[in-house]
Amino acid sequence: MIDTLAVVGATGAVGRIIVELLLARQFPARRIRLLASERSAGRPLEVAGARLDVEVLRPDSFVGVDVAIGSTPDEVAAEFVPWAVERGTVVIDESAFFRMRPDVPLVIPEVNPEAIASHRGIIASPNCSTTQMVMALKPLHDAARVRRVVVSTYQAVSGAGLAATRELEQATAAWLAAEPEPRQIFPHPIAANLIPQIGSPRSGGVTSEEQKMVLETRKILGDEAIGVCATCVRVPVAHGHSESIVVETERPLSAEEARRLLAAAPGIVVDDDLAAKRYPTPRACSGRDEVFVGRIREDESAPNSLAFWCVSDNLRKGAATNAVQIAEHLAKGKVDRGATVGAARG
């Protein structure tokens, strides 16, 4: 049983879902505390019929806190995580700030849960686009060793925050009415458009989002030899990231074998019947915690090559759900099944 768990950034889009999941899954803690900036603190958070107080995030907020889940920008994580670790709190961090540090495990529970035990106070949760792709790569890598991946992403605006979702709504209405479109979050109009840049430029003509997919994939799968070519695109979709993935493996895998491997993998749902027009779409996958795979086929343009389509709710498995699952792993072995957050929401 964990005595106290804190959610940092509880009023954000992902933070709210984290709190909902903790309550719905009856996370084994006697107390849950919600922390946020001074701007957001002080107003109760309404979640699943419960009113939860939100406290101001300060260094002493972590006194007596066993585990904290942080959903904050990088600069906030860089400041608060050391506060927490100094006070004995284990932090599950959603930001990118600590992900590539060699002493910080980068964890997807269905893929590398054993890495959790190596933490030194910080456990990182991967980028949302990386998470769903690596979930699908894992069974293929175990069976035939992935050598190279070419991935094109179709990423929802919710990955850029609540303000980005509002911009899509307002811009779409303006575009339909032939009026000037608001543009504060995105560098180009997002309504009825595609923007082939997510993140800042990096050397070699890639973006920071694309670089994350390369480096994080290798770290999670423990294989620095995997080649990854990523192109990340923002699309006018509210929720749910989609990815077109081509995988080259060391030994050949048929589409049928890949389909069986994926269907048997934890957290993956195969929805694949082209003749019946069955394949995952962002709207159908919204609000779900699984990773959905379809359009599985052999790539005849290269040996030992497969192509498939992958969709997941970026705010859930891509962020909130993955972090809560890590916290559940931390709680294993200490859980008193008779008491849960659902019974003590204080």
Q: Which residues are catalytic?
A: 128, 241
User: CB–CB of 181/191 below 8 Å?
Assistant: yes
Q: How far apart are CA 231 and CA 195, in angstroms?
A: 11
Q: How far apart are CA 340 and CA 26, in angstroms?
A: 5
User: CB–CB of 62/68 below 8 Å?
Assistant: yes
If DSSP codes are grouped into helix, strand and coil, which group holds residue 298?
Answer: strand
Q: How far apart are CA 343 and CA 339, in angstroms?
A: 6
3-state secondary structure 218-255: HHHHCCCCCEEEEEEEECCCCCCEEEEEEEEECCCCCH
Cα distances from 48 to residues 22, 29, 303, in angstroms, run 11, 17, 51
Edge-to-edge order in the sheet of strand 241-249: 227-234, 146-155, 241-249, 305-312, 291-298, 268-270
User: CB–CB of 327/32 below 8 Å?
Assistant: no
**What tokens were used for 315?**
């705010």
Q: How far apart are CA 10 and CA 271, in angstroms?
A: 33
**What tokens were used for 225?**
């030899």
Q: How far apart are CA 325 and CA 319, in angstroms?
A: 10
